[in-house]
Amino acid sequence: MGSAYLIRLLLTGFSILQQVRSWSINVPESVTAVEGSCVAVPCWTQPHLRVTWYQYQKMNYPVVYDRFHNIVEKQFRGRTSVPGNSTAGNCTLIIKNVRMADNNLQVYVWINPDSRASQKFYDQTVTISVERKAPKLSILKQMVEGETFQANCSISHSCPSSPPSIRWTGSQILENSSLKAINEKVFKQWMYTETLHGIATYEMQNSKISCSALFHDLTTDSQEITLNILYKPVNVSLILEMESVINGDSVIVECAANCNPQPHTYSWLQRQLGQDITTINTTQSKRTFDNVTTKTSFSCIAHNDIGAGQSNWLDLDVKHAPVILSESSCHLLGEVVKCVCQVEVFPNASIHWTIDGNDTLSSSFSFVFTNKKHVIFGEISGPAQSHTNITCTATNDLGSDTKQLSVHNLSKTASLSMWLVALTIPGIALLFGCAQLIYRKYSECRLLPGSVCNTTILLRRSSLSEYVQVEQRYDSHQRAHVEDAQSSPCRTESDPEEDRLSCVYDNDFVEQMRQSRAQQHQNNTTAPQRDGEIELPEKAVECNMEDYLNG
Ligand SMILES: *[C@@H]1O[C@H](CO)[C@@H](O)[C@H](O)[C@H]1NC(C)=O
Ligand SMILES: *[C@@H]1O[C@H](CO)[C@@H](O)[C@H](O)[C@H]1NC(C)=O
Ligand SMILES: *[C@@H]1O[C@H](CO)[C@@H](O)[C@H](O)[C@H]1NC(C)=O
Ligand SMILES: *[C@@H]1O[C@H](CO)[C@@H](O)[C@H](O)[C@H]1NC(C)=O
Ligand SMILES: *[C@@H]1O[C@H](CO)[C@@H](O)[C@H](O)[C@H]1NC(C)=O
Ligand SMILES: *[C@@H]1O[C@H](CO)[C@@H](O)[C@H](O)[C@H]1NC(C)=O
Ligand SMILES: *[C@@H]1O[C@H](CO)[C@@H](O)[C@H](O)[C@H]1NC(C)=O
């Protein structure tokens, strides 16, 4: 086998030697390479054994490629190869990482250089010209928000087997986009193109995008493009030019919108006491509203070619004199009289009280608080004597208001508490009944697994306070009880006595329960065991349900 191959090789060699005088070589006159890329110098001849490429010089024979690397010129060593199939006659030279210094390099090939061929291979030289190429970035001139955009980055190169890679720059556009790459032949060169697809967002507006081609030891950059995204008005807001407005003033309001292109129309909406009054369209972004009063609100809608956007409602804080509201009144509670004066005012007012014409208030206690926008509450309480005329006066920079407060006497107040009592008793009775029901259902459940346990489920689920009971009263003795309950489905983990308690004290426990739930929530991470304990009622519910279904 081996010898047969050797013989064939020898015969081939012999035939090649025989053909020495008739060598014909096919090479182009010139090739164009892209800096940083590789370049192929096509070469075609008869089957041969060895190839050497030389640089053409008047003096000397610098070696560009030879299979003996040590004789190759330093600047070509490691960069040149002849990978083609020599038995087919392929003598193509490949130069990697083409440099600007390789520009105008003239090379020629010598086939079987050790043979005594007399042919002057250097008669056929190939000139390599080197070009620098930067990637070209192309993008649609205008993109509309929400529509797909496309950006192409193309780099021309001369190395079909290993095109450069492309790096994109521009954080906004790169998010959520996808890439597609193609490498295609364009005339004598190659073109590697990456296409970026994505959805245009208004955040991309004015952001810059560029791309770079990364060759082995060279990077070239495209020009930078600033994106132009068309989008409808966003972030529309009203800007009030003056800091304070007094009743009857004129105000100038500006409608500011973030959009591209700029708005062509503004719609102005005005509300008084929550009711729409007017809608006016203008082309100006500023508008004057005359004779404004309290409880006026404005909004604007900005329209551009892409769409429209509306601002939030702007409530005007119109300065005005205090107005004592009709809700203001006094109540007699036993020996104590308590009065509340509600004043609508902006800016804040002070409140004064007079009792039977006397404004030096001894042995009484008064304070002011606010819990509504532009409403203040003055409260006074003191010993109830024969007070008949209690007045409240509210004063600010813009004026004052005085009102005599009517006193609701004890009997009315008493009747109110009577009502409260009357409502509370049936409530307690109802809760008691509910506890009883739970008790009874549990008893039934114990006796008859699979009986109407779903009633219990509902009650247990809604009886939140029971969670508290479980949480608060849970101790080692109950733990055993509970584990027991998990193994035997129809046992309950809590005493019916507790249920009754929890029903009765429902309201009192709600707040405690919330706190304890919150605490529990915090503890969850550190004490997962407790978590299990709290889930208990749920587990009991599941077990009951199962029994119900099985039964
Ligand atoms: C010659 O070899 C080169 C390098 O391997 C290859 O790119 C080219 O296609 C080959 N030419 C032919 C005609 O087969
Ligand atoms: C990007 O390239 C693709 C394919 O070559 C072409 O169809 C598309 O129009 C190009 N897009 C831009 C914005 O140049
Ligand atoms: C990218 O997509 C995610 C989810 O689809 C979205 O939340 C995010 O806002 C998107 N980012 C950009 C810049 O479009
Ligand atoms: C909206 O406008 C405010 C104030 O002009 C600005 O701080 C904010 O960045 C804007 N938001 C967007 C999404 O444009
Ligand atoms: C301002 O409004 C008040 C009540 O809305 C009205 O009585 C008054 O005539 C108005 N004044 C002007 C100058 O329009
Ligand atoms: C109540 O007192 C105010 C001021 O102290 C006074 O103006 C008013 O006339 C009095 N009203 C009655 C009914 O006495
Ligand atoms: C007002 O009340 C105070 C204390 O209750 C008392 O000393 C004072 O004389 C009274 N003034 C008038 C004018 O009644």
pLDDT tens-place string over residues 71-124: 999 999 999 999 999 999 999 999 999 999 999 999 999 988 766 656 667 688
In this predicted structure, the answer to whether residue 311 has a pLDDT above a threshold of 50 is yes
Ligand 3 site, residue 176, Cβ cutoff 6 A: yes
pLDDT at 20 over 70: no
Top-confidence range, 158-172, 408-422, 439-453, 467-481: 158-172
Given a cut of 70, is residue 332 above it in pLDDT?
A: yes
Q: Burial of 503 by CB count in 10 Å (0-12 exposed, 13-18 middle, 19+ buried)?
A: buried
Residue 176 alpha carbon to ligand 3 centre in Å: 6
More confident residue, 20 or 345: 345
What would the mean pLDDT of 456-463 be, rounded to a whole number?
A: 33
In the prediction, which pLDDT does 419 show? 46
Q: How far is the CA of 180 from the centre of ligand 7 (A)?
A: 92
Q: Which position has the higher pLDDT, 20 or 246?
A: 246
pLDDT of amino acid 151: 92
Ligand 3 atom nearest the C-alpha of 175 is 13
- Highest mean pLDDT among 256-265, 364-373, 508-517 belongs to 256-265
> What pTM does this model have?
0.60
Q: What is the pLDDT of residue 317?
A: 83
β-sheet bridge partners, residue 152: 138, 195
In this structure, which ligand is nearest to the CA of 200?
Answer: 3
Residue 390, pLDDT above cutoff 50? yes
Which tops the pLDDT comparison, 207 or 537? 207
The pLDDT confidence band at residue 454, using thresholds 50, 70 and 90, is very low
Residues with CB under 6 A from ligand 6: 354, 357, 389, 391, 404
Q: Which of 182-191, 232-241, 508-517 has the lowest mean pLDDT?
A: 508-517
The mean per-residue pLDDT over the stretch 41-58 comes to 92
DSSP letters along 455-508, please?
A: HHHHHHHH-THHHHHHHHH--HHHHHHHHHHHHSTT--SS-HHHHHHHHHTHHH
Segment 160-165 mean pLDDT: 92
Report whether pLDDT(480) > 50: no
User: Which has more confidence, 497 or 457?
Assistant: 497
- Categorize the per-residue pLDDT at 498 as very low, low, confident or very high, splitting at 50, 70 and 90: very low
Integer CA distances (angstroms), 132 to 34, 99, 107, 215, 388, in order: 6, 9, 21, 12, 101
pLDDT at position 431: 60
Of all protein residues, the one whose alpha carbon is nearest to atom 3 of ligand 4 is 235
Q: How far is the CA of 353 from the centre of ligand 7 (A)?
A: 13
Q: With a 6 A CB cut-off, is 152 part of the ligand 2 pocket?
A: yes
Question: What percentage of the chain reaches a pLDDT higher than 90?
Answer: 39
> What does the angle CA 212 – CA 213 – CA 217 come to, to the nearest 5 degrees?
120
Residue 279 in this model has a pLDDT that exceeds 90: no
b/e string for 260-284 if b means 16 or more Cβ within 10 A? beebeebbbbbbeeeeeeeeeeeee
**Does 150 sit in the ligand 2 pocket, CB within 6 Å?**
yes
Give the integer Cα–Cα distance in Å for 197 and 402.
Answer: 70
Residue closest via CA to ligand 3's atom 3 equals 176
Token pair 């259902």 is at which residue? 441
Range of weakest confidence among 103-107, 150-154, 238-242, 500-504: 500-504
What is the average pLDDT across 217-245?
Answer: 91
Higher-pLDDT residue of 363, 426: 363
Residue scoring higher pLDDT (118 or 15) = 118
Which residues does ligand 4 sit against, CB inside 6 Å? 234-235, 258
Q: For a pocket test of ligand 7, which of 362, 385, 390 has the largest count of ligand atoms closer than 8 A to its C-beta?
A: 362
- How far is the C-alpha of 320 from the C-alpha of 298, rounded, in Å? 19
Q: In this structure, which ligand is nearest to the CA of 140?
A: 2
What tokens does 270 get?
């005005």
Give the ligand 3 atom nearest the CA of 203. 13
pLDDT at residue 74, as a whole number: 93
pLDDT over threshold 50, residue 518? no
182 confidence band (pLDDT: 50, 70, 90): very high
How many CB atoms within 10 Å of residue 446? 13
Q: In the predicted model, is pLDDT for residue 272 greater than 80?
A: yes
Ligand 6 centroid vs 376 CA: distance in angstroms? Answer: 23
Question: What is the whole-number distance in angstroms between the Cα of residue 389 and the centre of ligand 6?
Answer: 6
Q: What is the pLDDT, as a whole number, of residue 14?
A: 43
Instruction: Ligand 4, residue 203: give the atom nearest the CA.
Output: 13
The long-range contacts involving 512-519, CB below 8 angstroms and separated by at least 24 positions, are 512/468, 512/472, 513/464, 513/465, 513/467, 513/468, 513/471, 516/468, 516/471, 516/472, 517/467
Q: How far apart are CA 409 and CA 384, in angstroms?
A: 11
Q: Give CA–CA dist 102/46, Å, rounded.
A: 28
State the average pLDDT for the chain. Answer: 75
- Cβ-contact 382, 417 below 8 angstroms: no
Q: Are 182 and 193 in contact (CB under 8 A)?
A: yes
Reply yes or no on whether the pLDDT at 534 is more than 70.
no
pLDDT, position 293: 83
pLDDT grade for 437, boundaries at 50, 70 and 90: low
Q: Which atom of ligand 7 is nearest to the CA of 363?
A: 5
- Give the pLDDT confidence score for residue 244 in this predicted structure: 77
Ligand 7: nearest atom to the Cα of 359 = 1
Residue whose structure tokens are 């729409």? 276
Say whether pLDDT at 275 is over 50: yes
For residue 315, what are its two tokens? 């409530």
Most confident range, picked from 62-76, 108-122, 528-542 = 62-76
For ligand 5, atom 3: residue with the closest CA: 291
State whether the beta carbon of 195 lies less than 6 angstroms from ligand 2.
yes
